[in-house]
Structure 1
Amino acid sequence: MDQKCLSVSNSHIADGLSLHDYIVGVIYDKVKDVYLMINYRQRGGLWFPFTECRINETSLQTVKRLLDPVVIYDYEQIQLFKVCSTKTLPFKGRDVLFYAIIPKSTHAISAWLSGKMDGIDIERQINTLQDNSIVWLTTNQLKSISKLSRLLGMEPLSLNKQFKDIFHSTIKLNNINSAVIFEEVKIPQIETISKTSHNNSAETLVLSARFTSTIQEKLYEEYHNAVLPSDYLNLETFKELISRKGLESQHSIDYFRAFDSTQRNYLTFLDYLLGLAALDPNTQHGGVPAEQRCRYIFRYYNINNNQRMTFEEFKLMIKDIHNNKGENLSGDRLNDQALQMFRLFGLRSSDQTLSLMDFLSGVGQLRFRGTSVLFRLSMSIGDIFQRSSSSPSPSITPSTMMMPSATSNIITSNRNLNIKTMTHRSAIQEPLSNMSVDESHPYEIATHIVKVKKTGVVVDITSLYDLEIAGAISGSTALFFDDDNGKCDR
């Protein structure tokens, strides 16, 4: 191979710091239909071999350094193809380069497989693999492991077709040095819009959480550093990130399930962003944000993750509602209270299950209250970043990214984001009185308009938060909806 073709620089300079690319080696035996995977135990998943480029090191030299401890191979018997270039952060960021490492003969394959496992018994051996263990896995085995959230990221499956097309294609040997089979440059953006534009529920949720573009950039920096060189967030890495937000580690799986709205067992940046927005104490528990929050709350307690909440799962919710009010219910008292609340949804016995839609309807019609205290951070994301600005949290990866300016476009390579954000109210509101906001008040601000017939039948309930979004509330009345007092106590 002509080394000159790969001698381009693999580093970028950002504010005096050198940011090196990541090289990912995709090794595939098309005869046995298996991929080579390494167990990165500390990060909780199997993935392709990868390493960070060193200073003045070419891609070929990096790949050779990557392969030496991994497989037995004949250096002259391999071909190197650039599979894709996934640019995740054009500003001050890194490039993750996937290279297909293809043998020129079956002799090379035999050398690779020498002393290695042809596969693993998924159920019995996945938890016993040592750190840096090497295994050969079929696509079906990768799918099984993915369901257990034991891949570092979804790329071995999401890029599987492209990889196989490369390995099964016939390319002239004289073109191998410059061949780029496909190159993906994914640069979706999060833009800033005015408060009058509300395109979808996701935008409304982020707006309600007061996630400015600067906060989102910081969140993406945190996410990007944690998942490199993958573009997906697995359970183990998720635990590291949410521990910085003050959430209890014993409930990490429950939070992960709540964030994972698509049930893919991995999170994209959009999943991470919206989940934190639902958790943020700034997020209004009324109108569209309340409905979105209730979906997260339902998934959090729906341990079976089947959109049907059992009575036992429902009891956990009731217990937490009372715990947040300083009441400790247990035993028969908890069971009786939960059964009473269960019947508010039209369910007659504890043998029945509560559907997601019935739960949303019951909360929306104010038949079931108390969810506003559930699924909350103790401190807003903005305050967490402000508090840690003087002593930033250590990065999971060896190096630390520099913060982009507030005007930079934030991007992510795993999904085309269209979340557009701004501060809910740009001006800091002055206190309406000398009373502390933390002080208990002898009153509650009305948050709904309820129309009732003379017979006592409720015919319509309108959230004042919805009216504010529609522009029907203005002036001094709107000030209440920027404060925690305006949140619906559902």
Structure 2
Amino acid sequence: MSVSMRVNGAASPSLASTGCSSSGARMMLSDHVSVVIYFVVRNDVRFLLNVPSNSDNSFWVPNSRVAVPDSGWLKTAERILHELGCDAPSQRPDTARITRISLPAVHVSQQTISHVTFAVKLMDTEAAQIMIGRNLKWLSINEVMDTWTQFWGLFGGGPPGSSAASNAGVSMAIRSVQDELLHVIQGVVDANGNNPAPVVQELHFSDVLVGLGVDAARLPLVESANLFEFEQEVLHQEFLMRTFPFPKLKRPGYCQFLIEWGWAKDQIQPMFRASDASGFGALSFRDFVVAVAATAPSAQHGGPCGEARCRYIFRYYDANEDGFLEFSEFKSMVTDIHRLKNLSTAVEDVERAAHASFLVFEPENPKVLSLSEFLYGVGQLKFRGTSVLLRAPRPVMDFLQTVYQDVVDVNEKSASDLNFNTVQSGDDVGNNRSRKTRYDNVRVLTPGDELQQGYELAAHSVKVRSGSIINVMTLWEYQGTETLKETGVEHLGLNRIHSTDTFNKTWPPNVMIASLKFFEGNTHSMMFPYGVTCSSETPKQKYTWGSYDRIQLGKNLIYIANTARKLFLHEPRMVQVRSPAYILGDIHGNFHDLTCFEKVFWHLGPTLTPANILFLGDYVDRGNMGVEVVAYLLSHKVAAPEKFFLLRGNHELRSVQKMFQFHDQCFSLFGPTLGPEVWEAINSAFDAMPLAGLIDKKILCLHGGIFPNEYGGGLVDAINTIPVPLSDPEKESPLAWEIMWNDPAHEQALTGNGLMSLKLNAGFAPNVRRGTAHVFSQAALQAFLERNKLSHVIRAHEVQQAGFQLHQKGRLLTVFSSSQYCGYSNEAACVFAENNRLRIIRLDTS
């Protein structure tokens, strides 16, 4: 019998490789079935496996694509058995494990793919019927490891024990093989050769996203390469198409990816070596993203990003993988620097330059250079030129945008379904690239964009009563869904994950919002939201957490803050907001007033409110409930990113919070261990917040005030050039500092020096009251409005007795949205922008 070892569309289920052809080419995503075939002899479990030839790079378990959806998983498993000559085993295939992967949002044809593993236990006589050959063998796990040593060269270095392979490298590579093989067979068969209960495993993109937390050290490099969540979704799709159904990308797949990207063939093997930092012989998705980021044309080459790139460069030129750069390896690096910088590449010139450069590192061993010596020398600028090394031939998203047209054609979708839309705002400034990428479900629209977009049906029907949502149903749950199918709404709704999350009670933002309702009331434990437990059933006082689980609360808040941060990073520094819109000023930890605004203006939630909502900053300090205010605002931002906008104020700064209450509130509520994590996660979100909003291209909204002409000629477009994130705006962006701190000048109260400064500096003078930034005159404001074709500026930053104040001939409006601020008797107000009119609304918060 001849056993085919490749998948050929629907024609042959056959035995397939681990997710892609041995060449590493991209394959369309579809369900896969693996069949673990085994028998037990003298208490030894033996598996039917395909031992790799010299052209392959894995141990194979019989598996196949489910080429035709109607054929089903079981039928595919039976076809595999038939092809192996085992048509009617005494034991039917048992489902052992289902691994279901939620596809990135960019994948338009389906939401999930599954890898289904069946187990088939054969009798001795049945096992004898299967014709084994040179590659197809019955092996125990121990025999697999013994056989593997013959193929060490396939994983890099040389045979174990050679000078080119360290003991650590051998151990890591062995674990790579074990990891891949056991990924399929482990848990399918127990020690006695029996099948345990089937296991269902759910894997989500959020589980592998390079973000905050465990990836904090990698994040700066990834973000400097403009690989935000949407870009990582696209990369995840590419990764899966080269690896599925197995979890890691091996050498052939990665090398093929690099070739298609445009790298030179002589760079391919060193690139894999540089990318495989763990020496594992395969790349996880996070390894893959970091490798792409390290070679991005836009990746920074200073600070943490520069160190990460230099580590990558070191591994690239460390050809024998001994952890040192010998002189010949270092000379290869110098040769490449000379070539890329158009310097002489003559042998004698390179030799001379390499010797001189090698000595500046002052290596402990004069024959080799260690990684620490290399990093120190580059960091101290003793050796220059590494910034030009290993730069990709083009940005990875440009490459994938072209190749994914083929995927779109196969799925019979238009190119727009992959949503490679980007927003370009301003020039590169400082150490930040101002290119922002849109989420598929987060569209930052400018006025007039709505004219270019047709309407579509929302995915849900909502039932309300007395200002509350009492029932939510998807449209396709109703009778008459055949009509919906004809319009394409059913397919549309099934792919709109964010819409589904919006009304999902177990979604973390909704859990937090419900928890805050508990905090606000005097509810006892029977009313706790979503399974949260409490040791006491007695009523609690309003605006307290009672016996609520603070650990669960803190972890949920960290998740929400991290998610909000990703949204902020994708927004321009000056967000475009359409009217009608509510504009609110300082909140300052006043959760009571915030919920009063909610009950009046968006009691059904922002999603069902016919207006956008814009906050101007200063959410924390001065008040006692800063944590709750932040939890509320960030949760609604995540739940309704297109309706709910948050700007940064001067209290969204770590240094300011440490002088006031918010820092201590986090520690007090969550304790000395979790408290710092919550505080840092929230401030990381603050670091990425936009700094201004532009309503209908006519009304500029910001926290403090307008800025002098020295910043971008006094044009509002300069705001979009502000770097992001900003952990220390005073040092990193003077323009951001001005926006957060400036005040209007009260010219009648200025001294002679102040008035003279206004005249000499185009209407700007030092802000003596605050000790930083500037004040600006009515003349400066008028010039600013005319220059930018604006009608008004709305700002916050200063308490007002009536909750608002008009300044400078009515063109400047201050709004303050926290009543009884610091014991005062002031009111709270907001501004409502609609139909070319600004209306002041004062709120009775009693």
Same fold (TM over 0.5): yes
**Structure 2 SS opposite 1:283:** coil
Relative contact order, CA 8 A, sep 6+: which one is greater?
Answer: 1
**CA apart distance, 1:30:** 4.3
User: How does 1:54-453 map onto structure 2 within 5 Å?
Assistant: 54-69=68-83, 71-73=84-86, 75-89=88-102, 92-103=111-122, 105-112=123-130, 114-117=131-134, 134-137=136-139, 138-141=143-146, 143-144=148-149, 145=151, 148-149=154-155, 154-165=179-190, 168-170=192-194, 180-187=197-204, 189=206, 200-347=216-363, 352-386=367-401, 388=402, 392=404, 394=406, 403=418, 406-407=440-441, 421=566, 426-427=571-572
Q: Which runs of 5+ in 1 are unaligned?
A: 1-17, 118-132, 172-178, 410-416, 434-464, 479-490
Give the corresponding residue for 2:33.
23
Aligned letter for 2:376?
A: S
- Kept in 2, the 8 Å contact 1:146–1:265? The answer is no
Output the CA distance in 1 between the equivalents of 2:75 and 2:50: 21
Kindly tell me the number of residue pairs found equivalent between the two proteins: 390
- Kept in 2, the 8 Å contact 1:142–1:157? The answer is no
Shift in CA distance, 193/347, structure 1 to aligned 2, threshold 3 Å: closer
The structure with more radius of gyration: 2
Output the CA distance in 1 between the equivalents of 2:566 and 2:266: 32
Output the CA distance in 1 between the equivalents of 2:94 and 2:418: 33
CA RMSD of aligned residues (A): 4.1
TM-score (norm 2): 0.41
Aligned letter for 2:37?
A: I
Output the CA distance in 1 between the equivalents of 2:210 and 2:279: 30
Output the CA distance in 2 between the equivalents of 1:392 and 1:250: 26
Output the CA distance in 2 between the equivalents of 1:205 and 1:400: 36
TM-score (norm 1): 0.68
Output the CA distance in 1 between the equivalents of 2:132 and 2:305: 55
Aligned letter for 1:168?
A: N
- Kept in 2, the 8 Å contact 1:154–1:266? The answer is no
Output the CA distance in 2 between the equivalents of 1:75 and 1:193: 47
**Structure 1 SS opposite 2:129:** helix
1:475 and 2:475 equivalent? no
Output the CA distance in 2 between the equivalents of 1:372 and 1:428: 28
**CA apart distance, 1:47:** 1.7
CA offsets per residue over residues 303-343 of structure 1, 9 Å max, x none?
11222111111111110111110124242322221111111
Shift in CA distance, 312/193, structure 1 to aligned 2, threshold 3 Å: closer
Output the CA distance in 1 between the equivalents of 2:412 and 2:178: 21
Q: Which runs of 5+ in 2 are unaligned?
A: 1-27, 104-109, 157-175, 420-438, 442-496, 499-558, 575-710, 714-722, 738-846
Output the CA distance in 1 between the equivalents of 2:356 and 2:412: 52
Matched residues, percent identical? 24
